[in-house]
């Protein structure tokens, strides 16, 4: 079967809306419902966050959701159990995103095999650098039809961007600015010269812009420079214990996609 | 050269640079330039001058006669406690501030646990007139108030970190986040032989002045530049790396690292990473870690805030794996007694961290003709409150 991430980028070229959430947050067993509701409301791609005790690339929102999720009892093993039947109800591509150590302890081969078994299409593992991936793990990922998606930042040199363009599968995760996640910027705070510079490089792989995208204005703006954008912290922050997950997701997605 | 880092940044299976892309440009710059800079004549000249006139080196190698008599074996103390700011930490921060200047950086960040590295960093920033921000776990801020005030007086901004357990690991996380957010003007002075390559090698090189001096001093005092064994405490492991460095290839010299057992290695309240840990990736390095089965880092405990870290430098993980060094551990109780013994036999109050190395003297077999060198990494001034409360003076 063709990887669902490739299918998505073949059929949709712009305004791709990707959402990140932390597995096990706000409640341990919300994972499946969150995925289902995001798809129902028109989200194109989902990044399921695997919590880690020491999320060094994340700001306060995802630090908090990770801490709560771990207290709730989430683990890689439990997450795979929660996702066991996800492909009976969900068709959009699903990506697991997290730090490398929990994956390493689960066993990289076992992790990739499990991803394949439950229908995960890709991974984003920010602290698994390109050289380590290519030397040690690439074959295992390919064998399991699993795309490993790589990041570029405003500091990434042109030479390295070309390397990453060759190596990243599915798409390139374009980090919007030099920051940890959840910076919640305004449109004018983004470095549009960087966005334009990358746009003019004519890269082979599609691009999604993430980090600091939090509302309709920043989402729409990012979509002007890439195939779409990713929202994480703003979505994680949107849960309210007085509102059902169904309602909360519907109003969040509506706000992002339709200007008030 | 068997125990040196290889061109990929590894010590055997440990080390590497497991960095997110956001840190790539800075780490790549460091990696490609650190050797050329620190081996240049200009750098060496300034480093050596500051070591002599500012830090007060060489630090004495002191024959502890009453302690030797007590143990029935020859014991020498390498007096890093007599350095400016009271520990070995300044060897590294002097090196890194000179490096940061050569790289054109104008802002320094650091993490600190007990505050010794924070003070050493704030000190060199004052010396060079560079802006300094120190991250410190909120719990450590309240436990180590005098060092916090010292850093502030030296002109540093101290930012309490409220995430996680509010100690050293969390301060390190926050310093890394700062660097991700400030990639252009900032250099991160890591305080130990941890973190991504080239930090473990770079910090070990700066600290290696300890064992370089030991060799010359031993030769002068005993006629033989090689001791029977060298003992040092290990948290991240920078003072041990420095004390072992020039003996690594002298295989006849026994190297002993001493970890913090806390309340015991069979209790959850310990920081003895090599005893209870397993390989994993934390703070951009593959090394031995205290972690759960699911790969979550567990919280360490030790009476000494400077050893309260759930990982260990990749060099030490490798020395442990290959058997080149032996690693023991000492409990809080054993450490306090060892500190009291040194105080009353020699009139030297050691740091709680350094007292771990002293406590190991109770655990090893020594012969009368042996030459045992203990790296006395820091002074006990910062620990007086703990000592006074415990002993009830």
A179-201 average pLDDT score: 92
pLDDT, position B305 = 87
Nearest Cα residue to B119 out of B129, B138, B104, B134:
B134
pLDDT by residue (tens digit) across B180-209?
Answer: 999 999 999 999 999 999 999 999 999 999
**How far is Cα B393 from Cα B379, in angstroms, rounded to an integer?**
19
Is B89 an active-site residue? yes
Are B24 and A155 within 8 A, CB to CB?
yes
When pLDDT is cut at 50, 70 and 90, the band that residue A258 belongs to is: confident
When pLDDT is cut at 50, 70 and 90, the band that residue B97 belongs to is: very high
Task: Name every chain A residue with its beta carbon within 8 A of the beta carbon of B24.
Answer: 129, 153, 155-156, 160
**How far is Cα B133 from Cα A98, in angstroms, rounded to an integer?**
28
Mutate to test the interface with A, among B180, B197, B297 (most CBs of A within 10 A): B180
Report whether pLDDT(B393) > 70.
yes
- Count other Cβ atoms within 10 Å, centred on residue B48: 12
Nearest CA of chain A to the CA of B275: how many Å?
Answer: 18
B56-75 average pLDDT score: 98
pLDDT, position B120 = 98
Tokens of A20: 């990140």
pLDDT, position A101 = 98
Are B24 and A156 within 8 A, CB to CB?
yes
Are A53 and B164 within 8 A, CB to CB?
yes
A13-32 average pLDDT score: 98
Nearest CA of chain B to the CA of A2: how many Å?
Answer: 28
Task: Name every chain A residue with its beta carbon within 8 A of the beta carbon of B184.
Answer: 155, 178
Nearest CA in chain A to B18: A127
Q: How many CB pairs under 8 A join A and B?
A: 108
Are A104 and B297 within 8 A, CB to CB?
no
**What percent of chain B lies above the pLDDT cut of 70?**
100
Residue B257 main-chain phi, psi, to 5 deg: -100, 145
Are A101 and B181 within 8 A, CB to CB?
no
Instruction: Judge whether A187 and A218 are in contact, CB under 8 Å.
Output: yes
Are B21 and A156 within 8 A, CB to CB?
yes
Instruction: Judge whether B223 and B292 are in contact, CB under 8 Å.
Output: no
The per-residue DSSP string of A67-135 comes to HHHHHHT--HHHHHHHTTTGGGT--S-EEEEE-HHHHHHH-HHHHHHHHHHHT--EEE-TTS-HHHIII
pLDDT, position B144 = 87
pLDDT, position A259 = 65
Q: Which domains does chain B have, with CATH numbers?
A: 20-50+89-203 (3.40.50.1100), 56-87+207-391 (3.40.50.1100)
Instruction: Judge whether B2 and B249 are in contact, CB under 8 Å.
Output: yes
When pLDDT is cut at 50, 70 and 90, the band that residue A26 belongs to is: very high
B30-44 average pLDDT score: 98
Are B293 and A105 within 8 A, CB to CB?
yes
When pLDDT is cut at 50, 70 and 90, the band that residue B1 belongs to is: low
pLDDT, position B165 = 84
Report whether pLDDT(A184) > 90.
no
pLDDT, position B142 = 87
Task: Name every chain B residue with its beta carbon within 8 A of the beta carbon of A77.
Answer: 294
Are A132 and B16 within 8 A, CB to CB?
yes
ipTM: 0.95
Are B280 and A180 within 8 A, CB to CB?
no
Which alpha helices (DSSP H) does chain B contain, by range? 21-38, 41-50, 65-71, 89-102, 116-128, 138-143, 145-153, 168-181, 199-207, 209-222, 238-244, 273-276, 314-322, 332-346, 352-359, 384-391
Q: Which of A30, A58, A121, A169 is catalytic?
A: A58
Mutate to test the interface with B, among A23, A53, A157, A175 (most CBs of B within 10 A): A53
Nearest CA of chain B to the CA of A114: how many Å?
Answer: 15
- 3-class secondary-structure state, position B113: coil
Task: Name every chain A residue with its beta carbon within 8 A of the beta carbon of B190.
Answer: none
pLDDT, position B184 = 94
pLDDT by residue (tens digit) across B251-294?
Answer: 999 999 999 999 999 999 999 999 999 999 999 999 999 999 99
CA-to-CA separations, A147 to A50, A126, A174, in angstroms, rounded: 17, 14, 16
Report whether pLDDT(B129) > 80.
yes
How high is the mean pLDDT of chain B?
97
Mutate to test the interface with B, among A68, A111, A154, A155 (most CBs of B within 10 A): A155
Residues B203/B207/B212/B217 CA torsion (nearest 10 deg): -170
Burial class (CB in 10 A: 0-12, 13-18, 19+), A110: middle
How high is the mean pLDDT of chain A?
96
Task: Name every chain B residue with its beta carbon within 8 A of the beta carbon of A156.
Answer: 21, 24-25
Which residue from A60, A63, A76 is facing B294, i.e. has the nearest CB? A76
Residues 6+ away with beta carbon under 8 Å from B24? A129, A153, A155, A156, A160
Tokens of B169: 């690991």
Nearest Cα residue to A232 out of A99, A80, A15, A59:
A59
pLDDT by residue (tens digit) across A85-140?
Answer: 999 999 999 999 999 999 999 999 999 999 999 999 999 999 999 999 999 999 99
Is B377 an active-site residue? yes
pLDDT, position B147 = 93
Report whether pLDDT(A232) > 90.
yes
pLDDT by residue (tens digit) across B307-344?
Answer: 999 999 999 999 999 999 999 999 999 999 999 999 99
pLDDT by residue (tens digit) across B349-367?
Answer: 999 999 999 999 999 999 9
**How far is Cα A248 from Cα A241, in angstroms, rounded to an integer?**
10
Are B294 and A103 within 8 A, CB to CB?
no
Q: Which domains does chain A have, with CATH numbers?
A: 4-257 (3.20.20.70)
Task: Name every chain B residue with its beta carbon within 8 A of the beta carbon of A103.
Answer: 295
Task: Name every chain A residue with its beta carbon within 8 A of the beta carbon of B164.
Answer: 53-54, 67
Q: Which of B68, B192, B377, B379 is catalytic?
A: B377
């Amino acid at each position: 079967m063709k990887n669902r991430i490739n299918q998505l980028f073949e059929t949709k070229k712009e305004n791709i809306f990707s959402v990140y959430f932390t597995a096990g947050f706000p409640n341990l067993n919300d994972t499946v419902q969150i995925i289902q509701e995001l798809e129902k409301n028109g989200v194109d791609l989902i990044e399921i966050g695997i919590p880690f005790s020491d999320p060094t690339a994340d700001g306060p929102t995802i630090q908090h959701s990770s801490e709560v999720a771990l207290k709730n009892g989430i683990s890689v093993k439990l997450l795979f159990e929660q996702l066991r039947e996800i492909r009976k109800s969900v068709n959009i591509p699903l990506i697991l995103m997290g730090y490398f150590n929990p994956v390493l302890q689960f066993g990289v081969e076992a992790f990739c095999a499990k991803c394949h078994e439950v229908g995960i299409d890709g991974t984003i593992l920010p602290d698994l650098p390109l050289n380590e991936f290519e030397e040690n793990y690439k074959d295992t990922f390919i064998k399991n039809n699993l795309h490993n998606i790589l990041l570029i930042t405003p500091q990434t040199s042109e030479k390295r961007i070309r390397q990453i363009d060759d190596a990243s599968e599915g798409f390139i995760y374009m980090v919007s600015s030099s920051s940890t996640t959840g910076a919640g910027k305004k449109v004018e705070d983004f470095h549009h010269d960087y966005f334009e510079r990358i746009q003019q490089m004519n890269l082979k792989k599609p691009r999604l812009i993430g980090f600091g995208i939090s509302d309709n204005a920043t989402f729409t703006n990012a979509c002007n420079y890439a195939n779409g954008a990713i929202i994480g912290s703003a979505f994680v922050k949107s849960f309210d214990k007085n509102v059902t997950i169904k309602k909360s997701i519907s109003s969040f997605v509506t706000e992002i996609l339709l200007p008030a | 050269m068997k125990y040196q880092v290889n061109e990929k940044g590894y010590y055997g299976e440990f080390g590497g640079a497991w960095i997110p892309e956001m840190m790539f440009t800075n780490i790549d710059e460091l990696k490609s330039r650190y050797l050329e800079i620190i081996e240049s004549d200009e750098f060496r000249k300034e480093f050596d001058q500051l070591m002599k006139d500012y830090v007060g080196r060489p630090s004495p190698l002191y024959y502890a006669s009453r302690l030797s008599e007590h143990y029935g074996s020859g014991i020498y103390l390498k007096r890093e406690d007599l350095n400016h700011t009271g520990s070995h930490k300044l060897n590294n921060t002097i090196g890194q501030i000179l490096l940061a200047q050569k790289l054109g950086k104008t802002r320094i960040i650091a993490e600190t646990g007990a505050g010794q590295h924070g003070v050493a960093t704030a000190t060199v920033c004052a010396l060079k007139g560079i802006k300094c921000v120190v991250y410190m776990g909120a719990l450590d801020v309240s436990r180590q108030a005098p060092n916090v005030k010292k850093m502030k007086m030296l002109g540093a901004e101290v930012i309490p970190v409220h995430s996680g357990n509010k100690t050293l690991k969390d301060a390190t996380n926050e310093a890394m986040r700062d660097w991700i957010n400030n990639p252009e003007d900032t250099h991160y002075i890591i305080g130990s032989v941890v973190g991504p390559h080239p930090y473990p090698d770079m910090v070990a090189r700066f600290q290696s002045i300890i064992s370089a001096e030991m060799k010359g001093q031993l030769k002068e005092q005993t006629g033989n530049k090689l001791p029977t064994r060298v003992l040092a405490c290990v948290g991240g492991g920078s003072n041990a790396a420095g004390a072992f460095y020039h003996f690594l290839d002298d295989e006849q010299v026994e190297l002993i690292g001493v970890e913090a057992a806390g309340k015991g290695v069979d209790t959850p309240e310990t920081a003895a990473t090599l005893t209870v840990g397993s390989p994993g990736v934390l703070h951009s390095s593959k090394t031995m870690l205290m972690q759960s089965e699911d790969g979550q880092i567990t919280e360490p405990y030790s009476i000494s805030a400077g050893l309260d870290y759930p990982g260990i430098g990749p060099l030490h993980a490798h020395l442990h794996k290959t058997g080149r060094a032996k690693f023991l551990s000492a409990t809080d109780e054993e450490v306090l007694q060892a500190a009291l013994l040194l105080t009353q036999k020699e009139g030297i109050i050691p740091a709680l961290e350094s007292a771990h190395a002293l406590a190991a003297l109770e655990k090893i077999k020594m012969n009368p003709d042996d030459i045992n060198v203990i790296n006395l990494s820091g002074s006990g001034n910062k620990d007086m409150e703990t000592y006074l409360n415990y002993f009830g003076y």
